[in-house]
Chain A
Amino acid sequence: MIIKAAIGAAGLAFGAASFASSEQLPNDTCKVPFDNTPVGCFPGAISAGSSENSQGFRNYAVKQFYALNWPVTDISSRAPDLSKNPAPFDISVWQTWQTKTDLTQGTKPSLTTQNKQEIAAILKTLNIDSNTAYAQHLEYLHDTDIPDQDHQPLVAIDKSKLHFEVYYNDVAVNDLNNFAKNNYQFTTGSTTEPKRGAIVAKGAWRIIPQSEYSTVSQYHSSLACIYSDSNVCDIQVVGLTGLHIANKMNPLQSTETTCEGLTCKNIKISEWSWTTFEYYQNAPSVASKADFNNIDKTVSWLLYDNSQIEQNIKNCTKDDLLAINNTSCVVNQVPTTTTQPAQIIRFQPSDRNFKVENLSEKICQGSGLSSLDYSSCLTILAYTKTPNVSPLQNYRLIENVWVDTRGNILPAYSGNNTVDKIIRNSSMEPFDRSVSQDNLDCAACHRHAKYDGMFTVPSIIKGDK
């Protein structure tokens, strides 16, 4: 079993392969096509006519998703295997990066003989060869607290807790190792002189019980060692429910000569962009009473109990619209106990004409799609076609958030529909239900981080867990 290299006192462990050291930048062996074909590389920055508009950021986010999810054969290399195409039971590039646990020198359990037997049994059940990267990779998952959510777990309808981990690319790790010298700033990507910027990815995983192994291929999955303070591995199969990617990739400088308050804070983090991709059946999209009535009851939502629809209509709607401020409304509310399943809905924004869970290959090839709808279609259109058929088709772009050179957080919402201004990441910020004046979203939150927009930095540079 190969375990990710942990940071040691002497310094950082880097992969030796040439493509890993180039951080998946385009080169002679990998060119990024302008069509929707997934490849294992992506540009160092947003550039030219893609800059300063949401379509450009969404396009970049999707190409980044394709590359960071490119399959790895040699896990220690942390490099995409360009000879392969995406397929079920892949291990993605980002899974091979160093994690927050690695960087805080957290202790990982050692595998026991019984653990190894359990792994072998699961591989046999799933019919996976022991020589594959899938068989050789383990996610070590300890944290059940939603990152930055006051030690609150997210409990799925099946009563299992989601697990979270943060992954850093080599650039980010190197930046952290020299953080004071770098003036507490991460590296920004570039295309002028091809350079990869810092990328920090947050993964949310669900445990897939043995009784659901028949549907495991619907998820991007992995073997995992689930452990607590007892430091003993509980070997499980986990499925990805959400992937939140922060990338410092916007080198455009602000043209504002004067700025005040939050605008200045926004401009300071304007080289980052934040993207969330989520599993399409985490939670139903709702903005009205009709949306509750139209929830697909044949779907076993990970985070929503269909038996509660009538109750939610009664307690969470007013005049046919969503009214989450009603005192008796429990959707997206922190449960009363840490073992109680959450009732999560995804807020349906007015810049979508289709619910993200209803998008399909047929709908995506039809008419009536908004710009955001179509951007969310790209993974479906890419991963349902050979040779790239992959469970990644079930992960949809929820949104990309960025800051323009005026310091505006984008996309901007009209405010006509209150829920537009509430974050929609069902697995990452499920209990955010308040509305802010300038878009309560990734940037509005990250601008308050002490170091260059990243919250996890203090715990890493201090060596705290």
Chain B
Amino acid sequence: MTTALINDLCCMQLLYAQATKPELRQITNSIYSTLISEPENRAILRDKYYIPNSRVSVVNTTAEMSIEYADKLVQISGSKAAAILVNQQLGEVAYRCVFTADRTPIFELAGGASVPSSAPTVSEEQQKALVLTLWHLAFNDSDREEFLNSQNKASVLQGIEVDGNALNAEISTWIDEQVQAQNITDLKDFIGFYLYKATW
């Protein structure tokens, strides 16, 4: 497993933590607007919140995101264009970790600025379900393999329940359609848009 993939998996773990620990999400979000005017808060966000909450067990060892990787998240979080840059980052990470068989980055970058007009609006509860479902698939190889090989991906997605949260039919079907049609950038934009809304 490459360092780059480990970092992306740690990022997925951070998304899980942000979606399930409201106190973590509340305080990290409070820091974002201070990152330019109070540079000392950058290290706090990285070392106290991002890195510890990114820890995962990978191949019988514990891994956490690298300082450089965390620094990039901190930097885009403090940007005026965070809503675009973080969307883009999270879309890339989740796509790589869940929707690719060999888990290499896909060359085709998404814009991060908007979501396709055909995409359903995702409620706050379903945003959380989206985070947890993608997190589950990122860390469960057999389920991910089943998902990637399935002819009915919507059904597989709906069948995944994490902490009582599961995606509904409308969202699962839309994701399925984008995968089948190979609408890679649309899917990345959609995922990134809602992962940002649910975890940042």
Contacts and interface: CB of A to CB of B under 8 A. Distances in A.
Nearest to B32: A49
11 contacts: A34-B27, A47-B32, A47-B80, A50-B29, A50-B30, A55-B25, A56-B200, A59-B26, A255-B113, A374-B22, A406-B114
A247 B79 CA distance: 23
Interface string A47-76: 111111111101100010000000000000
A32 B41 CA distance: 13
Interface in A397-422: 405-406, 408, 411-415
Contacts of B122: 412
B2 interface: no
Given A58-B26, A192-B80, A370-B22, 19 more contacts: A32-B34, A46-B33, A47-B33, A49-B29, A49-B77, A50-B30, A50-B33, A52-B196, A53-B197, A59-B26, A63-B30, A191-B33, A256-B114, A371-B124, A374-B23, A405-B114, A411-B123, A412-B121, A415-B123
A34 to B, nearest CB: 4
A59 B34 CA distance: 13
Contacts of A372: 124
Q: Which residue of A49, A351, A411, A415 has the most chain B CB atoms within 10 A of its CB atom? A: A49
A252 interface: yes
B30 A59 contact: yes
A412 B82 CA distance: 21
7 tightest A-B CB contacts, nearest first: A49-B32, A374-B22, A52-B83, A49-B77, A414-B123, A49-B82, A34-B30
A56 B22 contact: no
Interface string B96-125: 000000000000000001110000011111
A55 B77 CA distance: 14
Contacts of A56: 29, 32, 200
A138 B97 CA distance: 61
Contacts of B124: 54, 351, 371-372, 411-413
A35 interface: yes
Contacts of B30: 34-35, 50, 59, 63
A347 B65 CA distance: 42
B156 interface: no
A56 B122 CA distance: 18
B123 A413 contact: yes
Contact of A34 (B41, B82, B123): B41
B26 to A, nearest CB: 6
Given A34-B34, A34-B41, A35-B30, A53 B126 contact: no
A378 B30 CA distance: 12
B83 to A, nearest CB: 4
Contacts of A351: 123-125
Contacts of B200: 49, 53, 55-56
A373 interface: yes
B128 to A, nearest CB: 8
Interface of B: 22-23, 25-27, 29-36, 41, 76-80, 82-83, 86, 113-115, 121-126, 168, 196-198, 200
A351 B197 CA distance: 15
B197 A52 contact: yes
A53 B26 contact: no
Contacts, number: 105
Nearest to B34: A34
A273 B12 CA distance: 31
Nearest to B36: A48
Contacts of B36: 48
A43 interface: yes
Interface of A: 32, 34-36, 43, 46-56, 58-59, 63, 191-192, 252, 255-256, 350-351, 369-375, 378, 405-406, 408, 411-415
A80 B197 CA distance: 34
Given A48-B33, A53-B200, A374 B26 contact: yes
A406 B22 contact: no
Contacts of B26: 55, 58-59, 371, 374-375, 378
Contacts of B197: 52-54
Contact of B126 (A52, A256, A405, A414): A414
A405 B83 CA distance: 10
B125 A350 contact: yes
Nearest to A191: B33
A370 B200 CA distance: 15
B86 to A, nearest CB: 6
A50 B197 CA distance: 10
A32 B31 CA distance: 10
Contacts of A405: 83, 114
A406 B119 CA distance: 12
B33 A43 contact: yes
B75 to A, nearest CB: 10
Contacts of B80: 47-48, 192
A383 to B, nearest CB: 16
B42 to A, nearest CB: 12
A51 B193 CA distance: 12
Contacts of A51: 82-83
A47 B33 CA distance: 6
Given A34-B27, A34-B34, A351-B125, A371 B113 contact: no
A252 B121 contact: no
Given A49-B77, A374-B26, A414-B123, A252 B33 contact: no
A59 B83 contact: no
A192 B123 CA distance: 31
Contacts of A406: 114-115
B82 A255 contact: no
Contacts of A55: 25-26, 29, 200
A112 B192 CA distance: 64
Contacts of B23: 374
B22 A48 contact: no
Contact of A59 (B29, B76, B78, B82): B29
B127 to A, nearest CB: 9
A414 B125 contact: yes
Nearest to A414: B123
